Amino acid sequence: MNFTRVKISDLLAKNEITYSFEFFPPKNYSSILELGINVGQLMKLSPSFISVTYGAGGSTQDASFDLIDYIQNKIGLTTMAHYTCVNASKEKVEQDLKFLHDRNISNLMLLRGDPPKGTKDFVNKAGYFQHASDLIELAAAKSLFCIGAAGYPEKHPESVNMDNDINYLKYKVDKGAHFVVTQMFFDNNYYYNFVQKAREAGIDKPIIPGIIPIVNYKQIKKFSDMCGTQIPDELVQQLEPYQDNREKTYQIGVDYAIHQCRELLEEGVPGLHFYTLNKSRATVDIFSEIRK
């Protein structure tokens, strides 16, 4: 199939709200089947674009590229490929970007990536890319891609403070990023303050909030601790008594996400980016409410 290349920056320029979903590559056959079912359910919502992660430590690159190729060229949905600095020599990056462009990929989310499992610090081989800004600069020079950068409303865990984090985001934008997608957050005030600081720093690109519904409290608590994301006390108080009750947790989490999304939409956000964790039910339920 041949599909028209669409850049996310062009979608955002229309000033219409974008709705996007993020998936990660499945690790085994049963996960492939489950993902196929969930992708099918989410496709019915007509998302603006899909993003596919690079896998932990860049370890699942082949699976990532296969999934990207399938969604872009078989299903026909605009797909954004995540790409990180992990094991990224200039030669390898050049080859991979050509591979993606040859498969009709026009959108990239460029990230540093996580440290290898069992280590605290990100240390790449000498001569390899060390920072997301390095990838952004190289990709931007080709003028073939629309480039997304990550933003952290509660600052990156490794940043000394928010001002430092905002300055680095400005650097990534100056190197060629066209838009920003944020890390998940549960208190919208963090997002509003982040956007205000970004604008004061001269960042004029769209900043899309990242949303994750809490359907498994223990799992999200673990993610939040890793990312430095705060779960509001009132939400914790609602969830903790039911952390072993999956259905009650699900309902509390989805109701909270609906309220969060409605408030963000009322404030005029450019879009909503959902971290689906390869599940469809919560996102479908949220959409049925916020798009009424």
In the predicted model, what is the mean pLDDT of the chain? Answer: 90
- C-alpha to C-alpha distance for 92 and 177, rounded to whole angstroms: 21
Average pLDDT over residues 25-47: 82
CATH of the structural domain 8-290, one choice from 3.40.630.10, 3.20.20.220, 3.40.50.2000, 3.40.50.720:
3.20.20.220
- The answer to whether residue 31 scores a pLDDT higher than 90 is no
What residues pair up with 182 in beta bridges, in sequence order?
Answer: 151
pLDDT band at 57 (very low <50, low <70, confident <90, very high): very low
Return d(Cα 208, Cα 270) in angstroms, integer.
6
Cβ neighbour number for residue 202 with a 10 Å cutoff: 10
Let me know if 289 is a catalytic residue: no
Q: Which residues, 6 or more positions from 68, have their beta carbon under 8 angstroms from its beta carbon?
A: 52, 79, 81, 100, 103, 105
Let me know the angle formed at the C-alpha of 111 by 139 and 6, rounded to the nearest 5 degrees.
55
- Predicted TM-score (pTM) of the model is 0.93
Residue 9 sits at the vertex; the CA angle it makes with 8 and 12, to the nearest 5 degrees, is 85
What residues contact residue 91 under an 8 Å CB cut-off, 6+ apart?
none
CA angle 208, 112, 4 (to 5 degrees): 55
Q: In terms of pLDDT, which residue wins out, 5 or 17?
A: 17
Please state whether beta strands 107-111 and 207-211 pair in parallel, antiparallel, or not at all (unpaired).
unpaired
Catalytic residue among 16, 22, 91, 263: 22
